[in-house]
Amino acid sequence: QVQLVESGGGLVQPGGSLRLSCAASGIPFSSSVMAWYRQAPGKRREQVARITSGGITNYADSAKGRFAISRDNGKNTVYLQMNSLKLGDTAVYYCYAHWTQDYWGQGTQVTVSL
């Protein structure tokens, strides 16, 4: 059974930082593409950052220069370091994995507020 368990969300002020973690099980993690998506109320789910099995990363324009995705294959965990957070970053953040098919975590809430 595949499980993606996110943690690290919470409430932060604009300009602050958070680090999300996603622990994966049930898939060959080191061979899987991992990504973070987010969905704000009333908006479509969008990809924030992606990292391949080889460590190649891609970012949404909104995340470039502020967010960093990384993976620790020894811990089967992918991270999203988010800096300089803005009000518009408020959303539920989902961990995503691809190994022959797509898998999703349950999501973690990130709220950026004064």
Task: Tell me 43's DSSP state.
Answer: S
Residue 93 phi, psi dihedral angles, 5° rounding = -105, 130
Which 3 state secondary structure label does DSSP give 89? helix
- What confidence score (pLDDT) does residue 101 get? 96
> Pairing mode, if any, of strands 46-51 and 33-39?
antiparallel
- What confidence score (pLDDT) does residue 65 get? 98
Run means of pLDDT, 10 residues per run, the chain, 114 residues: 96 98 97 98 97 97 98 98 98 97 98 96
Neighbours of 104 (CB within 10 A): 14
- What confidence score (pLDDT) does residue 50 get? 98
